[in-house]
Amino acid sequence: MRVTRVSLRPRNRVLGEPDSWEQKNLLDFERRLAKGEKIETFEVSQVVNEPTGRYYRYLKAIPMGQPCLACHGPVAGIPEGVKAQLASDYPHDRAVNFQLGQVRGAVSVKKSID
């Protein structure tokens, strides 16, 4: 079983880049949020057939909360030391400039059922 966090704007592209199923559902979460739905209800599960087998898939939205702003909020509000560390550790970081209540990403579960 694989359990990970994914995002349309990942900090670590190796670990956080969504596959096509995750990307489709993350985009749906963003559309639902724009329509006024409550982010706390954003989750999806499905059994899918992929070229490598049959899988149970689950995705649950991670809402952008107040504590998250220190590292993922508007760049102007991120402390200089944090910015320097992020630039060093994640030179291609796209996980900034989020606002409270946005979809930061999601927890993703993928389990083989063959």
pLDDT at residue 2 is higher than 80: yes
85 by DSSP, 3-state: which? helix
Question: What is the DSSP-derived secondary structure letter of residue 77?
Answer: G
Domains identified in the chain, total number:
1
Distance CA 55, CA 44 (A): 14
Q: What is the pTM of this model?
A: 0.91
Q: What is the pLDDT of residue 97?
A: 96
Distance CA 87, CA 6 (A): 20
Distance CA 14, CA 25 (A): 19
Nearest-5° Cα angle at 62, 51 to 16: 45
Residue 39's closest CA among 64, 66, 10?
64
pLDDT tens readout for residues 27-84: 999 999 999 999 999 999 999 999 999 999 999 999 999 999 999 999 999 999 999 9
Query: What is the residue range of 51's domain?
Result: 2-112
Q: What is the pLDDT of residue 14?
A: 83
Q: What is the pLDDT of residue 42?
A: 98
CATH number at residue 9: 3.30.450
Residue type, 60: K
Token pair for residue 106? 């999601």
pLDDT tens readout for residues 89-105: 999 999 999 999 999 99
